Amino acid sequence: MAQVASITLLQNDDARPIIEAILADNPGVRVLNMHGAVKLDCDHSITIRRASVEERLGRAWEPQEIQLVLVSMAGNLDEDDDHFTLSWRH
């Protein structure tokens, strides 16, 4: 069974540019829409790029701001100034 890296975000305007950035940057991402939240799943790893979010948002954005719209996640987190990545190593 492939290990699934996953992130769940709020379904709102603040999260939408992040959701769009994830859809654009992670080929094969699977979307589970729930009431109030959206779960995004990808085999092995899923990443959010700062540049992709800023492009859609039209302002500077720090990956730490994701905490304001984050609901849940699965995978080992690697966060830095320009990305927020969840992945399984094995």
Partner 1 sequence: MTVKKLGLRQRYEHMTRGLDWETTYQKMDDVFPYDSFEGIKIKDWSAWEDPFRLTMDTYWKFQAEKERKLYAVLDAFAQNNGQTNLSDGRYVNVVKLFLTGISPEEYQAHRGFAFTGRHLRGAGARVAAQMQSLDELRHLQTQVHTISHYNKFFDGISEFPHMHDRVWYLSVPKSFFDDARSAGPFEFMIAIGFAFEYLLTNLLFVPFMSGAAYNGDMSTVTFGFSAQSDESRHMTLGIEVIKFLLEQHPDNLPIVQKWVDKWFWRGHRLLGLVAMMMDYMLPKKVMSWKEAWDIYFVEAGGSLFQDLERYGLKMPKYADIATEEAEHISHQNWAVFYQYTHAAAFHTWMPDKEHLDWLSAKYPNTFDKYYRPRWELWAEMEKEGKRFYNMALPQLCQTCQIPMAYTEPGNPAAICFRATQFQGETYHFCSDGCKDIFDGEPEKYVQAWMPVQQIFQGNCGGATVPDVLAWYNMNAGADNMDYTGSPDEKIWKEWHPDADVARKAV
Please give the residue ranges that form the binding site for partner 1 (CB under 8 A). 1, 3-6, 8, 10, 34-37, 39, 63-65, 67-81, 88-90
3-state secondary structure the chain: CCCEEEEEEECCCCCHHHHHHHHHHCCCCEEEEECCEEEEEEECEEEEEHHHHHHHHCCCCCHHHHHHCEEEEECEEEECCCEEEEECCC
Q: Which is nearer to partner 1, 27 or 81 (CB)?
A: 81
Closest distance of CB 65 from partner 1, Å: 8
Q: Which is nearer to partner 1, 57 or 74 (CB)?
A: 74
